[in-house]
Homo-oligomer: A and B are copies of this chain.
Amino acid sequence: MNIGIDMMGGDFAPLEAVKGIRLYLDDTNVNGPATLFCIGQEDKLVPLLTEHNLLNHPSIKVIPAPEVIGYNEHPTKALKEKQQSSIAIGFYLLATGKIEAFMSAGNTGAMLVGAMYSIKAIEGVQRPTIATLLPKLNGSTGILLDVGLNADCKPEHLNQFATLGSLYASNILGIQQPKVALLNVGEEEGKGNLLAQATYPLLKENTHIHFTGNVEGRDVFYDKADVVVCDGFTGNIVLKMVESVYDIAASRKLENDGYLSRLHYENYGGTPVLGVNKPVIIGHGISSAKAFKNMVHLAEKMIETQLCEKITENFQATTR
């Protein structure tokens, strides 16, 4: 299994990525580790990899990428002009089959544009989407999508997010027949803004999902649904509120609380891009070593379960 890592992404690049790889290799399971393609500037990477005893490790391949796409660069322009950047090279390796998954904590826009132009959206998927995991009070984990890729959505987009999220929940989270719900302002059918009102009947008729109705803002942390669907504007507000609840807990020395600690983003590593042809994971700008380790585990799982292939099959069946 070959996984590509943009070593130059994240506020603490490349140190946290290197430390994350060390963590991953230290606790990897009996199946043996994946081969990690570490893409980045050699002069910065080599000393750190040496320091962490990773330079000639059998699971590590260093892929030189002399350029870096900064956080504030325009995604399309940067990808075009910096073909030797870690993100551009990562997508080249992914598109050509040299790696089976690619992850970065760098420029989110460049990651999305790269995904759309290199590996492309799965046929039938109108809008690829990004999701976040939601730890529930009962110990389970759910998924919320879209969380920011599609600020304005049409009902059919939300309906497709429901299918994508449901496949993610069953394959990656191991939830049989995931409960899918629409994020809304009330429980009854007919509630909501025009988008939610028009989406509800589509979800009800979607035979690929187990639709359980509406959930409200108060249900986000509870186990009423495994998959919560909304437009990317609302989802992004929710995602950032959830993250800030952890921050508040930490600032008030409550971060060791068994539940609140689970809200820390690093437990989930990164945000999967769903609806593109290969596994792509986008990390948080502040990604820590633990976050990188968990992103690698997520990539492994997405490859192992053949999630993208299953999504492709599902959408072929739908669009026929």
Binding site for B on A (CB under 8 A): 137, 148, 151-152, 183, 185, 192-194, 196, 216-222, 231-234, 236-241, 243-245, 247-248, 251-252, 254, 257-260
Contact = CB atoms under 8 A, between A and B. Distances in A.
B238 A237 contact: yes
A245 B137 CA distance: 11
Contacts of A194: 151-152
23 contacts: A137-B248, A151-B185, A152-B193, A185-B236, A193-B232, A216-B237, A216-B240, A217-B237, A217-B239, A217-B240, A217-B241, A217-B243, A218-B240, A218-B244, A219-B244, A233-B234, A234-B234, A234-B237, A237-B237, A237-B238, A238-B241, A241-B241, A245-B245
A137 B247 CA distance: 11
Nearest to A231: B193
Given A217-B244, A241-B238, A248-B221, A257 B259 contact: no
A236 B219 CA distance: 12
A91 B218 CA distance: 31
Contact of A238 (B193, B217, B251): B217
A243 B219 CA distance: 10
A116 to B, nearest CB: 19
Given A216-B237, A216-B240, A217-B241, 11 more contacts: A137-B251, A151-B194, A152-B193, A217-B236, A218-B240, A218-B244, A238-B241, A252-B257, A252-B260, A254-B254, A254-B257
Q: How many copies of this chain? A: 2
A245 to B, nearest CB: 6
Contacts of A259: 248, 252
B151 A193 contact: yes
A220 B234 contact: no
The 9 closest A-B pairs by CB, nearest first: A217-B240, A217-B237, A151-B193, A218-B240, A218-B244, A217-B241, A185-B236, A193-B233, A152-B193
Contacts of A243: 217-218
A87 B16 CA distance: 60
A77 to B, nearest CB: 16
Nearest to A263: B248
A84 B138 CA distance: 46
A216 B233 CA distance: 10
Nearest to A257: B252
Nearest to A194: B152
Contacts of A222: 244
Contacts of A137: 248, 251
A190 to B, nearest CB: 12
Contacts of A258: 252
A261 to B, nearest CB: 11
Nearest to A236: B185
